[in-house]
Amino acid sequence: MAFDSKDTAAFKGVWVFCEQREGVIMSTSYQLLSEGRKLANDLGVELCGVVLGKDIKEDYLKALGGYGADKVYYCNHELLDVYTTDAYTKVICDLVEDKKPEIFLIGATNIGRDLGPRCAARLHTGLTADCTHLDVDVEKYKAFLKTTSTIDVDNTKFEENTNLKMTRPAFGGHLMATIICPRFRPQMSTVRPGVMQTQPYDEAGAAKTVIENVDVKLSKEDIHVEVVEVVKAAKKMVDLIGADVVVSVGRGISKDVEGGIKLAEELAGVLGGVVGSSRAVVDAGWISADHQVGQTGKTVHPRIYVALGISGAIQHLAGMQDSECIIAVNKNETAPIFDVASYGIVGDLYKVTPMLIEAIRAVKASK
């Protein structure tokens, strides 16, 4: 039967694209499988992982079952070792056309965001980018809205259906939109890495995993690009202005300058950010001038700004108050920094920061 993306009734099952790089499955895949499992349960259907690669270890494939996959479609081919848009799109679209899943989740990595749109365009279906929340069940969706939106959920009408409700931020989080794809299948979504929780690994699930080797039809002629090299870069230093997270130190580190800066570095490391400072710290010669945030330094608007021992002089505030989330730690409860902070802790940075680092590590490890 010819493939028709409009014939929604013909599609069944939840799929997750399990991206591998250098033969290793990326952790995003586990997050997606964990989330996909919930959706598959709500729908009462199978969850399948899709792996494209060359000679992937069977253990790795089996492990996908440990995160919830009932079945793994394994596409093994020499030309799938390294990602190319052409090869991956062809193999995935062939498989989708054959098996017809109703939901297809892809990690919103730089590769997933290259592959997803190309596949959706070929399959003639919708794709929602960079989702942070997924639901099929309306009640669960309503429960989600109650905690994260200003919508009066109980007095709003919701269309009852099991379409995938894909929620994503727009305009840098100023707005949230829930998108559906009611008339076409599969319902495709790229999912922001790190957002979905990974469920605990289940040995029994792994043992039960069914691995189906897919007959891959692919030749060199299908691929129109040549991958000359793949280079893994040592973690690049991000500058303050482009940084996603900035952890800044202020005069509060005077007690133990080196220790204070080290704590900030460690916290920045855990959050994936860089270290900034107030003017006082630069003027005292404790840190180089390129770290300075403020009127005479740099203006930053990262996603997270942590102010450690910074009182919040106007000149500093001018450089950071537009940050999305400001976390301030300061001994003085009347410090102006608390006026702009999203979260404030009145306390000693030398005591609070190590606890913060530990707690964030713990949360990250659970993902």
Partner 1 sequence: MKCIVCVKQVPDTSGVVAVKEDGTMDRAAMATITNHDDLAAVEAALRIKDATGCKVVVVSMGPPPAEGMLRELLAMGADEAVLVSAREFGGSDTYATSQILAAAVKKIGVEDDDIIFCGRQAIDGDTAQVGPQIAEKLHLPQVSYAAEIKVEGKTVTVKRLLEDGYMTIKVQTPCLITCVKELNTARYMSVGGIMECYQKPLEIYNYETLKDDPLIDVDTIGLKGSPTNVYKSFSPPVKGAGMMMEGADKATVEKLVSILNDKHII
Partner 2 sequence: MDLHLSREQEMLRKMYRDFAENEVKPLAEWVDENEAFPEETVKKMAKLGMLGIYFPKEYGGAGADVLSYAMCVEELSKVCGTTGVIVSAHTSLCAAPIYENGTEEQKQKYLPKLCSGEWLGAFGLTEPGAGTDAQGQQTVAVLDEKGENWILNGSKIFITNAGYANVFVIIAVTGITTDKRGRKKKEISAFIVERTDPGFSVGKHEKKMGIRGSSTCELIMEDCVIPKDRLLGKQGKGFAIAMKTLDGGRIGIASQALGLAEGAIEETIKYTKERVQFGKRISQFQNTQFQLADMHAKTEAAKWLVYSAAMKKQNHEPYTVDAAMAKLVAAETASDVTRRCVQLFGGYGYTREYPMERMMRDAKITEIYEGTSEVQRMVISANLGVN
Window 292-351: residues binding partner 2 (CB under 8 A): 295-296, 314-315, 317-318
Q: How many CB atoms lie within 10 A of CB 231?
A: 5
Do 120 and 126 form a contact (C-beta atoms < 8 A)?
yes
**Cα(39)–Cα(137) distance, integer angstroms:** 8
Are the beta carbons of 48 and 15 closer than 8 angstroms?
Answer: yes
Q: Based on CB atoms, which residue is closest to partner 2, 7 or 339?
A: 339
The answer to whether 227 contacts partner 2 (rule: CB under 8 A) is no
Q: Would you count residue 131 as binding partner 2 (CB under 8 A)?
A: no
- Give the closest residue to 248 by CA, choosing from 219, 215, 271, 214: 271
CB atoms within 10 A of CB 285: 9
d(CA 60, CA 26): 11
24 binds partner 1 (CB under 8 A): no
Which tokens go with 34?
Answer: 């964990």
Q: Does 289 bind partner 1 (CB under 8 A)?
A: no
Interaction mask 135-164, partner 1, x per CB under 8 A: ----------x--xxxx------xx---x-
Residues 41-70: x where in contact with partner 1 by CB under 8 A, - otherwise, as a string? ------------------------------
Print burial letters for 134-143: b (CB count within 10 Å at least 16), e (below 16): bbbbeeebee
Does 237 interact with partner 1 (rule: CB under 8 A)?
Answer: no
Distances from the Cα of 174 to the Cα of 171, 194, 312, angstroms: 5, 20, 25
Least gap, CB of 340 to partner 2 (angstroms): 11
Least separation, in Å, of the C-beta of 336 and partner 2? Answer: 8
By CB under 8 A, residue 359 contacts partner 2: no
Q: Does 232 interact with partner 1 (rule: CB under 8 A)?
A: yes
Q: Using CB distances below 5 to 8 A depending on partner kind, what does residue 314 bind out of partner 2, partner 1, none?
A: partner 2
Q: Is 253 in the site for partner 1 (CB under 8 A)?
A: no
Distances (CA, A) of 353 to 244, 307, 310, 358: 19, 11, 13, 9
27 vs 46, beta carbon nearer partner 1: 27
Position 359 contacts partner 1 (CB under 8 A): yes
Are the CB atoms for 15 and 186 separated by under 8 Å? Answer: yes
Number of residues that bind partner 2 (CB under 8 A): 6
Instruction: Pick the binder of partner 1 from 92, 105, 127, 300 (CB under 8 A).
Output: 127
| Residue 257 interacting partner from partner 1, partner 2, none (CB closer than 5 to 8 Å by kind) | none
Out of 46, 114, 202, 266, name the contact with partner 1 by CB under 8 A: 114
Q: Burial level of 287, CB count in 10 A (0-12/13-18/19+)?
A: buried
